[in-house]
Amino acid sequence: MSIENKRPQIKETVGAQYVCFAQSNPEGVYESVYEEKVEKTEVVKSVSVTENATSTKVRASGKDYDVVSILASTDISVEVVAFPAETLAKMRGDVIEDNGLIISGGNKERPYFAYGKVVVLKNGHYRFEWYPKCKLTANTDDVTTSDVEFAEQNDTFTISAMAFNDNGDNRTKVETEFKLPEGLTEDKFFSKPILTPEDLMSVLAGE
């Protein structure tokens, strides 16, 4: 048996974020089919990911036999300096009229969307992540008066990432310092939501 020394790369910054809406379904059922357009914005100040899981200790014969953990959902809190108004309205399920009027605040069904983000690591490494099945759960809209010096007025929106397959998975990702398929770039990975190995191969092939 040998000892292998590893030096993992530290995080440097958060990169761009990506949003792709799932195609609308009359019954509101998620079918892992998405719109053609993927929206990229470089407005992120911070991203905080919290996994909501329950763990149950199983005891047998007077001792701990196992610990069973169930991941219920993942909450993603994103602080941004700005965000596209139309995209936020769509996330909220607001009604957008043809003349530009946005009707908001009612009890409307919020659509599913895929959320992607980039984590920039030291020495030129990256982590690309997709959360394929998400819904917006909350957002802030704070504003204060201007002062002598400019001050950022940021907002935060909270996303709930849910399981997108029968295994209960809610995220797909690749990391350059671990194993990156040859030819994969940020633009290719985020050209569409990645749910399966076949999806990854299709973006590599340019499909």
For residue 17, the model assigns a pLDDT of 97
Domain limits, the chain: 11-204
Give the C-alpha separation, 88 to 80, whole Å.
12
For residue 189, the model assigns a pLDDT of 96
For residue 108, the model assigns a pLDDT of 84
Give the C-alpha separation, 163 to 124, whole Å.
31
Pair of tokens at residue 1: 């048996």
170 near 73, Cβ under 8 Å? yes
For residue 100, the model assigns a pLDDT of 85
- pTM score: 0.87
Give the C-alpha separation, 91 to 75, whole Å.
15
Q: Which residues of the chain have pLDDT under 70?
A: none
Label residue 170 left, alpha or beta by phi (over 0 means left) and psi (-120 to 50 means alpha): alpha
Q: Kindly report the CA angle at 24 between 26 and 109, in degrees rounded to 5?
A: 70
Pair of tokens at residue 95: 């009604």
For residue 81, the model assigns a pLDDT of 93
What's the pLDDT tens digit per position in 57-88?
Answer: 888 888 888 887 777 779 999 999 999 999 99
For residue 193, the model assigns a pLDDT of 97
For residue 182, the model assigns a pLDDT of 85
For residue 58, the model assigns a pLDDT of 87
